[in-house]
Amino acid sequence: MAVGIFDSGLGGLTVLDAVSKRLPEVPFVYFGDNMHAPYGVRDADDVFNLTTRATERLWEEGCDLVILACNTASAAALRRMQESWLPQGKRALGVFVPLIEALTERQWGDNSPPREVNVKHVALFATPATVASRAFQRELAFRAIGVDVEAQSCGGLVDAIEEGDMILAEALVRSHTDALLRKMPHPDAAILGCTHYPLMEREFQAALGAHVKVFSQANLVAESLADYLERHPVMIGEGSASKFLTTGDPLRVSGHATNFLRRPVSFEAAF
Q: Which of 10, 147, 194, 229 is catalytic?
A: 194
63 part of the active site: no
| Cα 254 → chain centroid | 20
What interhelical angle do 250-261 and 13-22 show, nearest 10? Answer: 60
**Alpha carbon separation from 53 to 56, 84, 139, 219, 271 (Å, rounded):** 5, 15, 26, 27, 11
Q: Which of 63, 70, 140, 173 is catalytic?
A: 70
- The burial class, CB within 10 Å (0-12 / 13-18 / 19+), for 42 is buried
Closest CA to 37 of 140, 119, 127: 127
> Residue 236 phi/psi, 5° resolution?
-80, 115
194 part of the active site: yes
- Ranges of beta strands (E only) in 154-254 are 189-193, 213-215, 243-246
- The burial class, CB within 10 Å (0-12 / 13-18 / 19+), for 174 is middle
Annotated active-site positions, please? 70, 194
